[in-house]
Chains A and B, each alone.
Chain A
């Protein structure tokens, strides 16, 4: 794992060892000098109507390497470009500059090698739980036999603890149950990487805590590479091997990367009792408070 916010030219003093330590096979996702600019409105038409706006630099020169089979959380204040970063990895958004590679291949668009869990679940309301998952599997494996298809769907419904709800429609389920379907759908296509964009953001605190433990349990089974965007310090500490702290936007950068040393499999109590827990939590709180305060200050001025 190597992360640096500086450009390679500036970082000669600090990173040569770690850069030489990269073995191609270890790194699954790598972002090199990635920036994202949302183009503003320009041109004579917008100028006449007074609707011009400036370009917005969301992400500024970010370098990330993510090792295979690790769980990485990205945490930062609101509007720091976390979701933009994830969308770039998902292929839903294109980097304005820099290289994004997965297994040595540039990411050129979305694909089923990356399974995505959405904050607002994004389940198809006209499909039942079963149909939502089957739709995903069928799309990725059009030639799969009906029997295999049925097995995969059933296996993943059981994995997320939704047996018995197969024929229900999403609107009949609670938020927590809906997100279980979202997770089952993402896992059912057997992706190389699991991408989660604030998966518990829309849930109440109790359900959120419960689902976090479920994710931990599910993740331990296959330990696929996972990248999660979150606002929650506890969530990041419970689930992650690495935590990437981002600075506030615009021009968000990576501020720091924390290694989370807790043994796996984890449970909340053991994690909270670990000697390193307080220090890590304190460090993250300080970072988030500092960045959030700066965001608030910049809004006032």
Chain B
């Protein structure tokens, strides 16, 4: 019977999916319990270094900070929500500036082999430099911690977008370009209607990596800046209160996931159904 066969197949498929998810969640919960239990017992019986907070204390602190995000008792006692917003604002400005430079420049480099060869040495030289190396330069140039933070975000997050955009543009299928040529399309039309859409998956992938780097760099950059999540961590280190540092790490991680998922969604939206034909 075809219908009953179909039902059976569908049932089997569904059971397989449920099975897999249930097992994955089970394994996740189990590993989490083991990890937290090891942490709790270890901290209580002094296996780790002196003053290591327990898991329960850390989770209590996390709950307190997350439920009281917005209070302001001066720069050294600021709700984590305010710090998060300050960090996000810096990232947004620096990242936007980086993207506005990287995408057009990447398109230019991708289109023109001459530009590619001419600018490649700069990219290769500057790309591997640690974001922290820029910190003194930023402070010296701008004499302002806010601008320096944004500058460091910008200069660190420019490279993945630039390299990916140039790669995507340079590797646009020759067929698409031949179509544009046989139609007599202008250079402008070819770039805007053919090259950019064809390279968009690569451009978005570059923007996603850049966003990850921008978020990665902000904590390091802010340690010397006086506000933001990075400063929050630095401040708690000076107070030698480790639970709050762990709280900040968890918050940073979750926000990073959210930012990354936004780009994962955008990537799927421009992937042409997974095919490039």
Contact = CB atoms under 8 A, between A and B. Distances in A.
Interface of A: 90-92, 109-112, 114-116, 118, 120-126, 135-136, 139-140, 169-172, 178, 185, 189
A92 B178 contact: yes
Interface in B254-277: 270, 272-277
Given A126-B272, A169-B272, 14 more contacts: A109-B181, A112-B182, A118-B179, A120-B175, A120-B277, A122-B175, A123-B277, A124-B194, A125-B272, A125-B277, A135-B193, A139-B183, A139-B184, A189-B183
B197 A126 contact: yes
A43 B194 CA distance: 36
B277 A139 contact: no
B277 A115 contact: no
Contact of A90 (B182, B189, B198, B272): B182
Contact of A110 (B173, B184, B270, B276): B184
A167 to B, nearest CB: 14
5 contacts: A110-B181, A124-B179, A125-B275, A125-B277, A169-B273
Interface string B172-195: 010110111111110001000110
Contacts of A170: 277
Given A114-B182, A139-B184, A139-B185, A121 B198 contact: no
Contact of A124 (B184, B197, B275): B197
Contacts of B173: 122
B108 interface: no
A140 B184 contact: yes
Residue in A116, A122, A172 whose Cβ sees the most chain B Cβ within 10 Å: A122
B246 interface: no
A245 B222 CA distance: 73
Contacts of B274: 171
B171 to A, nearest CB: 15
B276 A116 contact: no
B242 interface: no
A170 B273 CA distance: 10
A114 B194 CA distance: 20
Contacts, number: 70
A241 to B, nearest CB: 24
A126 to B, nearest CB: 5
Contacts of A114: 182
Contacts of B198: 124, 126
Given A120-B277, A123-B277, A139-B189, A115 B194 contact: no
A121 B173 CA distance: 12
Nearest to B185: A139
A135 B180 CA distance: 9
A135 B194 CA distance: 10
B270 A126 contact: yes
A114 B179 CA distance: 11
B179 A122 contact: yes
B86 interface: no
A126 B273 CA distance: 9
Interface string B193-230: 11001101000000000000000000000000000000
Contact of A115 (B178, B182, B275): B182
Contact of A122 (B178, B189, B200, B270): B178
A116 B273 CA distance: 26
A92 B178 CA distance: 7
Residue in B176, B179, B181, B198 whose Cβ sees the most chain A Cβ within 10 Å: B179
A140 B183 contact: yes
A171 B275 contact: yes
B187 to A, nearest CB: 12
A120 B193 CA distance: 20
B275 to A, nearest CB: 4
Contacts of B175: 118, 120, 122
4 closest A-B pairs by CB:
A122-B175, A125-B272, A171-B275, A139-B183
Residue in A90, A111, A125 whose Cβ sees the most chain B Cβ within 10 Å: A125
Contacts of B178: 92, 110, 116, 118, 122
Nearest to A90: B182
B183 A136 contact: yes
A116 B277 contact: no
A116 B175 CA distance: 11
Nearest to A189: B183
A189 B179 CA distance: 12
A115 to B, nearest CB: 7
B143 to A, nearest CB: 46
Nearest to B179: A122
Contacts of A121: 277
Contacts of A111: 182, 184
